[in-house]
Chains A and B, each alone.
Chain A
Amino acid sequence: MSEKKKSKHIIIPCSGIGKALGTITRRATYIVTGELLPNETDTICLPLLTIKDEETVRKIRQNPCITVDGCVAQCAKKNVEHHHGKLKGEIKILDVIKENPKLKPGNVLDIGPDGEKLARKAAEKVLKIVGEKS
């Protein structure tokens, strides 16, 4: 009997290199894909979408995507939308910061303990969306 392969949720951080918030999106993604839900989730290189890589575009059209963006430019979300990907949900780190005003992240290369806490909170939000019915 053939078993239909279950699609994985694709978690896509923003790749931002200018601010600590970009690094937090990256960290949140690795917490989900590496620690919390390694079998149900995966990530992609966002720059592959930016250069319109066919295989990557196919992947985001076939699997539910959750974007994690660091700033108002929302590069991850916009890149997914541009390619008509299956956008299931979006996380904005700026919202996570607003909800946790006492947490002050470090810098791009070292987000510090508060940055790590913010990443964990963002990861929890991703988990919630993964658990929602598509």
Chain B
Amino acid sequence: MKIKPKIGLVSCSGEGLSEGMVSRVATRRILEERDDVVTICLPLFLAGGQKERDFAKNNPCITVDGCDKMCAAKGVEMYGKVHPKSSIAISEITKKEKHSKPKSKSRIEPEDEKLVHETMKIINKEVDKVKEEE
């Protein structure tokens, strides 16, 4: 019986902007809700060893980025030498869904909960899609 790999969720967690907090919190909540996903701290791609660099090779990855610099997606490509199965950007969701930009870099304000939930919905959908394809 072939054991299916868990889906890798890689969040940018960017400290410099409020969307990084949304990517982080949405990703973390999904990790706590589902048992078919795993994560890695993004800076470990550079700071860790081969095992960390192989994370993206061993787990089909969905990246969750705060802005259009797409650090998580680029990190997976740069270190894992593979493309993410799906790339989500919070900045795109705010544009598309007409959410206002989250105000705080350090916490999720009540008015930003809707954006977090919307992001979680998209992540869940993408995880299910990737699982079907694997």
A and B interact:
yes
Please list the residues of chain A having a beta carbon within 8 angstroms of any beta carbon in chain B: 12-18, 22, 26-27, 29-30, 34, 43-53, 73-76, 78-79, 82, 108-109
Say if the beta carbon of B95 comes within 8 Å of chain A: no
Q: Give the residues from 4 to 63 in chain B that come closer than 8 angstroms, CB to CB, to chain A.
A: 11-17, 20, 24-25, 27-29, 32, 39, 41-48
Interface residues on B, range: 20 to 34
Question: Would A109 and B12 be within 8 Å (CB), given that A18-B41, A51-B71 are in contact?
Answer: no
Question: Would A17 and B43 be within 8 Å (CB), given that A45-B20, A51-B78 are in contact?
Answer: no
Say if the beta carbon of B123 comes within 8 Å of chain A: no
Distance from A81 Cβ to chain B, minimum over Cβ atoms (Å): 9
Inter-subunit contact B41/A75 (CB<8 Å): yes
Inter-subunit contact B106/A47 (CB<8 Å): no
Inter-subunit contact B28/A76 (CB<8 Å): no
Inter-subunit contact B106/A51 (CB<8 Å): no
Inter-subunit contact B15/A43 (CB<8 Å): yes
* Selected A-B contacts with CB under 8 Å, 16 pairs: A17-B11, A17-B41, A18-B41, A26-B15, A26-B106, A30-B105, A30-B106, A45-B12, A45-B20, A45-B66, A45-B71, A50-B43, A51-B74, A53-B69, A75-B47, A76-B43
- The one of B12, B15, B69 in contact with A13, judged by C-beta atoms closer than 8 angstroms, is B15
Question: Would A15 and B16 be within 8 Å (CB), given that A47-B71, A51-B74, A79-B47 are in contact?
Answer: no
Chain A residues in 8 Å Cβ range of B16: 43-45, 48
Q: Which of the listed residues B16, B20, B25, B48 has the most CB atoms from chain A within 10 Å of its own CB?
A: B16
Inter-subunit contact A75/B43 (CB<8 Å): yes
Say if the beta carbon of B75 comes within 8 Å of chain A: yes
Chain B residues in 8 Å Cβ range of A48: 14, 16, 69, 71
Cα A96 to Cα B15 in complex, Å, equals: 21
Chain A residues in 8 Å Cβ range of B24: 17
Distance from A130 Cβ to chain B, minimum over Cβ atoms (Å): 17
Distance from B91 Cβ to chain A, minimum over Cβ atoms (Å): 13
Distance from A20 Cβ to chain B, minimum over Cβ atoms (Å): 11
Distance from A43 Cβ to chain B, minimum over Cβ atoms (Å): 5
